[in-house]
Amino acid sequence: MASADDIRDTVRRYVEAVGSGTAADIVALYREDATVEDPVGSEPHVGHAAIRKFYDVIEPLERSSELFTVRVAGDSAAFSFRIVTRFGEQSFTLDPIDVMTFDENGLISSMRAFWSPDDMVTG
Amino acid sequence: MASADDIRDTVRRYVEAVGSGTAADIVALYREDATVEDPVGSEPHVGHAAIRKFYDVIEPLERSSELFTVRVAGDSAAFSFRIVTRFGEQSFTLDPIDVMTFDENGLISSMRAFWSPDDMVTG
């Protein structure tokens, strides 16, 4: 099982990559057979190719991110963070809570993102 | 499926009951066949009798609670909150992130609590 420190490190790198990395940077944190359910209740993306396609959408956007709280339990973590996307004068701020499981190397095995469109704040 | 408002209402009542209610108050928010995994990675408590036994432990304690952030997605929610327990001069503060699923009546079907002993702050 990955250590709590390894898990915290992957979470920190994930939030950084979501805020300023490429889709490839993000996908490299996932296991090849990982699943991504974002938001919870939607059809999961399974495997690197599908996950890459999912994150390709945000790659060209002007973004920033901030990690708030991480809670590690066993091989899992829950964490709250902020992602801000900007289009010229307009910004979209979302503070999801994500839940992840990790393999023995600290790679993400599964991700589930808890948020709904109501949580999006425009400014 | 329960509405997002029903889900938020159950979460609010849960955190209130954990902070100042009886074990019976808390258990009443769960389905009869619900599961409680607290912390994540531990053996789940299954059904009202086992869940009641789990919350009986906190009933006699001097406690307070505060709900921070709730994120609803589909029939699920993730939320961060604080529970403070006091023994005379000493206090124990824990800020877990909990994940719950809900049935069509807004009762809790499952609860998983993300925290580790390292997250406990004594004062």
pLDDT in tens, A67-109: 999 999 999 999 999 999 999 899 999 999 999 999 999 999 9
Alpha helix (H) ranges present in B22-96?
23-27, 48-56
Q: Return the closest-CA partner of residue B16 out of B87, B65, B71, B73.
A: B65
Give the residue from B71, B93, B115 with the most A CB atoms within 10 Å of its CB, the best one to mutate: B71
* Contact: B77, A114; criterion CB under 8 Å: yes
Q: Which of B14, B30, B55, B98 is catalytic?
A: B14
Q: Which of A14, A30, A55, A98 is catalytic?
A: A14
What DSSP string runs through B56-97?
HTTTTSEEEEEEEEEEEETTEEEEEEEEEEEETTEEEEE--E
Smallest Cα distance from A42 to chain B, Å: 8
Q: Is the minimum CB–CB distance between A79 and chain B shorter than 8 Å?
A: yes
Q: Percentages helix, strand, coil for chain B, rounded to the nearest 5?
A: 30, 45, 30
**Residue holding tokens 């993306």?**
A45
The answer to whether A108 and A89 are in contact (CB under 8 A) is no
Q: What ipTM score was computed for the predicted complex, to two decimals?
A: 0.93
φ, ψ dihedrals at A107, nearest 5°: -80, 150
Which chain A residues are Cβ-neighbours of B80 within 8 angstroms? 69, 80, 97
What's the average pLDDT block by block, 10 residues per block, for chain B (123 residues)?
A: 96 98 98 98 98 96 97 97 95 97 98 96 93
Domains annotated for chain A, with CATH where assigned, are 4-116 (3.10.450.50)
Smallest Cα distance from B56 to chain A, Å: 23
| pLDDT at site A97 | 98
Q: How many CB pairs under 8 A join A and B?
A: 74
B14 is catalytic: yes
Q: Tens digit of pLDDT for each residue in A19-71?
A: 999 999 999 999 999 999 999 999 999 999 999 999 999 999 999 999 999 99
A14 is catalytic: yes
Q: Which of A5, A25, A30, A38 is catalytic?
A: A38
> What size, in residues, is chain B?
123
